[in-house]
Amino acid sequence: MPELQFPLKNDTSRKIIHIDMDAFFASVEERDNPELAKHPLVIARHPRDTGGKGVVTTANYKARQYGIHSAMSAQKAYELCPKAVFVPGNHQKYREVSHQVRAIFQRYTEVIEPMSIDEAYLDVTSNKKNEKSALKIARFIQRDIWQELQLTCSAGVSYNKFLAKLASDYHKPKGITLITPEDAVDFLKDLPIEKFYGVGKKTVPKMNELGIFTGSDLYEKSEMELIQNFGKMGYSLYRKVRGIHNAPVNVIRQRKSVGRELTYGKPLATEEECLAQLRQIAEKVAESLKKEQKHGKTVVLKVRYSDFTTITKRKTFNEYIHEKDKIFSEASLIWEEVGGVEKGIRLLGITVTNLDPLTYENIVLPLWDTGNPYS
């Protein structure tokens, strides 16, 4: 039976930029203390101070020459380069810088999809400067970030997110790479297979077994074979190696808080009832946090009494929280301070605010989960 052939649609009309900061945490620390730039620099607590625990969040390029990289244990980094300087990360500071970078993007477009603390996609097909050249805009952004924040970034420019991301990675640090529709397939054919997003440690051996080592090998495979072997990812890889990836730049509104509240027709009258309800609410909040892949530093308890007086009280911690038991125990501590069931309780609510993505804390997200631009 002849295979049905659908023409593949490739939207090459858009102008997409991907910006990724260079050695982000390390560069911020070097900027704020130039002495550090002279040494291999590892952003982690020194294993000496942690009993060997701790993970490298990132390292400057000097330290990378010793084989040090993100997600490696700080102990291993120390063994690779004992003279490296270790500086603990300051996430609050990096978040602020991330917002400053975002503000620069917003001079050019509102169509911004932040992918993590240090990277984002921008759709500049139409933009605030009426500038036709996306390459020029990318250069302006690099210039602004350097002049105003004394930091460097790499930029990729192309007609879709997949290619823009590969392009920003192509000449790092301080790079800028343009991939045109005409060049895309040649560029992709030259890539080692592990550069294709989604092809991770587990998939590479399977690819190799099928004789796929490069984009070129991937290009030769039929859509059917790729789907049979790799399912959804095979479908998508068949298209990507042809330069096709039509997903839009999603303007994600960053959620600032996650909360739940319940109103009771019959006011709650006992301490036990209230605590049982708080436990349930905490569970719901933990579920929502998980869905959003977020954790937060502040817990807010809201209580409305039968006479409709309402109080909210918050507590902020040094550590992030996201587990239901922790949310419940903190909410019930606040409850002990403000509670009292004499008046009858008409509403209970728990909110977790001061949120950040779980990824910032070295927790790896499963592929194909929320926020994956390549699915």
The site for Ca ion (CB under 5 A) is made up of 20-21, 24, 118-119
**Cβ of residue 169: shortest distance to Ca ion, in angstroms?**
9
Residue 198 in contact with ligand DCP, rule: CB under 6 A? no
Cβ atoms of 83 and 38 closer than 8 Å? no
Residue 65 in contact with ligand DCP, rule: CB under 6 A? no
Smaller CB separation from ligand DCP, 20 or 356 = 20
Half-sphere exposure of 34 (CA within 13 A, CB side): 2
SS3 category, 140:
helix
Binding to ligand DCP, residues 4-33 (CB under 6 A): 20-25
**Cβ of residue 87: shortest distance to ligand DCP, in angstroms?**
12
CB neighbours of 324 closer than 8 A, spacing ≥ 6?
279, 282, 283, 285, 286, 287
Options 41, 57, 244, 326; binder of ligand DCP; rule CB under 6 A: 57
SS (H, E, C) 345-363: EEEEEEEEEEEEEHHHHCC
Smaller CB separation from ligand DCP, 58 or 109 = 58
Binding to ligand DCP, residues 72-101 (CB under 6 A): none
**Cα–Cα distance measured from residue 274 to residue 289, given in angstroms and rounded to the nearest whole number:** 22
Options 113, 118, 123, 356; binder of ligand DCP; rule CB under 6 A: 118
Range list of H helices, the chain: 24-32, 47-50, 61-64, 74-80, 91-105, 134-149, 161-170, 184-190, 203-209, 215-220, 223-240, 271-292, 324-338
Residue 145 in contact with ligand DCP, rule: CB under 6 A? no
**Cα–Cα distance measured from residue 371 to residue 364, given in angstroms and rounded to the nearest whole number:** 12
Q: Which does 172 bind (CB under 5 to 8 A by kind): Ca ion, ligand DCP, none?
A: ligand DCP
Smaller CB separation from ligand DCP, 55 or 275 = 55
Mind telling me the catalytic residues? 119
Q: Which does 117 bind (CB under 5 to 8 A by kind): ligand DCP, Ca ion, none?
A: ligand DCP
Number of residues that this document lists for the chain: 375
Residue 173 in contact with ligand DCP, rule: CB under 6 A? yes
Binding to ligand DCP, residues 315-354 (CB under 6 A): none
Smaller CB separation from Ca ion, 76 or 172 = 172
Residue 172 in contact with ligand DCP, rule: CB under 6 A? yes
SS3 category, 70:
coil
* Closest by Cα among 174, 217, 171 to 193: 217
SS3 category, 151:
coil
* Closest by Cα among 187, 20, 27 to 120: 20
Residue 362 in contact with ligand DCP, rule: CB under 6 A? yes
Smaller CB separation from ligand DCP, 362 or 370 = 362
Q: Which does 57 bind (CB under 5 to 8 A by kind): ligand DCP, Ca ion, none?
A: ligand DCP
Rounded to whole angstroms, what are the CA distances from 263 to 246, 272, 281, 311, 332?
44, 17, 11, 14, 18
Residue closest to Ca ion, measured at CB: 119
> Distance from CA of residue 105 to its chain's centroid?
17
Smaller CB separation from ligand DCP, 174 or 314 = 174
Cβ atoms of 112 and 102 closer than 8 Å? yes
Residue 41 in contact with ligand DCP, rule: CB under 6 A? no
**Cβ of residue 59: shortest distance to ligand DCP, in angstroms?**
8
Contact residues for ligand DCP (CB under 6 A)? 20-25, 57-58, 70-71, 117-118, 172-173, 362
